[in-house]
Amino acid sequence: MSDRRPNPFPVLLNNDVCSLIQAAENVYQIRFKNRAANAYLVRGKSRTIMIDVGLSSNFPHLLECLHHVDCPPDKIDMVVLSHEHLDHIGAAYHFGGHTIIAAHRLAANKIMLRDDFSMLRKMFNEPPVAINIDLWLEEGNLIDLGNFRLEVMYTPGHTSACISLFDPEQGLLFAADTLMAGGVMGGIFGSGSIADYIQSLRRLKGLNSRILLSGHGRLSDTPQEDVRIAIQRSHGLLSDTAQLFDALDARSNFEPIMQSVRDLNKLDDS
């Protein structure tokens, strides 16, 4: 006799590239099986949004999932991008012109200036297509869909520009790469910070979340346990980095940088 819990999230469509999974009433996860991030469809009474859209190469499969629930792109009012990485935003340009594209102001700046290093373009080999951001989001903004009210939370750490969305009434936490099922962390990239990551996780721990809808992997109905594990792991990562830094010969590593500064100062004085 198996002691495994039944899966509380029904699978509505499953193919070689992605699965369409119902997370809650009118809330769907499109989980890609390659490196693309999860995409989420939230159908409200007054408007419908998507949170992240995955890679451009997966767009035909994203369309298949949207049509399966009778919600083609022209019925989507807004696409919210959780941060600037292309595995989350690559397909966003397909929605441009008929859908509002929104992101935190720091992510919007990187995306609009086509900061390929920050967006990890080479890692995901996405086409160099412009993605225009129509709405720049900030901490505390509210996205009201009628039957969903999603609060914008600024949760940096994975990058400097990450946001999470939280519906306190229904307990839905869209945490992107800040928190994943099982306490998995999304890693620290470029502008990210372990200290910021820990602070963001502490904020998420204080929420009365019921379902975790993350940037990669499965849905979770144990978000409090997930965030507890992630905080523990992030402190371990902080400790490991401190030990690594202490082991470095700081002078030999930083001397070339300091010398270049001295050389530039000499040029300015001449």
pLDDT tens, residue by residue, 182-212:
999 888 888 889 999 999 999 999 999 999 9
- Taking the chain (270 residues) in runs of 10, the rounded mean pLDDT of each run is 68 94 97 95 97 96 97 96 97 92 98 94 90 97 97 96 97 97 88 92 96 96 96 85 56 55 56
- Residues constituting the chain: 270
Domain assignment present for residue 6? The answer is no
Three-class DSSP category at 268: helix
Give me the DSSP letters along 11-35.
EEEE-SSEEEEEEETTEEEEEESSS
Domain assignment present for residue 5? The answer is no
Range of the domain at 168: 11-269
Domain assignment present for residue 196? The answer is yes
Indicate the residue type of 147.
N
Pull the structure tokens for residue 84.
Answer: 């600037």
Domain assignment present for residue 3? The answer is no
From CA 220, how far away is CA 225, in angstroms rounded?
Answer: 10
Domain assignment present for residue 70? The answer is yes
Domain assignment present for residue 228? The answer is yes
From CA 236, how far away is CA 86, in angstroms rounded?
Answer: 28
| Tally of domains in the chain | 1
Pull the structure tokens for residue 161.
Answer: 């520009």
Q: CATH number, domain at 145?
A: 3.60.15.10
* pLDDT value for 1: 43
Domain assignment present for residue 2? The answer is no
Domain assignment present for residue 210? The answer is yes
Pull the structure tokens for residue 7.
Answer: 């899966």
- In sign, the C-alpha dihedral spanning 128, 161, 52, 125 is positive
Please tell me the pTM assigned to this model.
0.88
In degrees, rounded to 5, the angle at the alpha carbon of residue 128 between the alpha carbons of residues 155 and 105 is 25
Three-class DSSP category at 241: helix
Three-class DSSP category at 8: coil
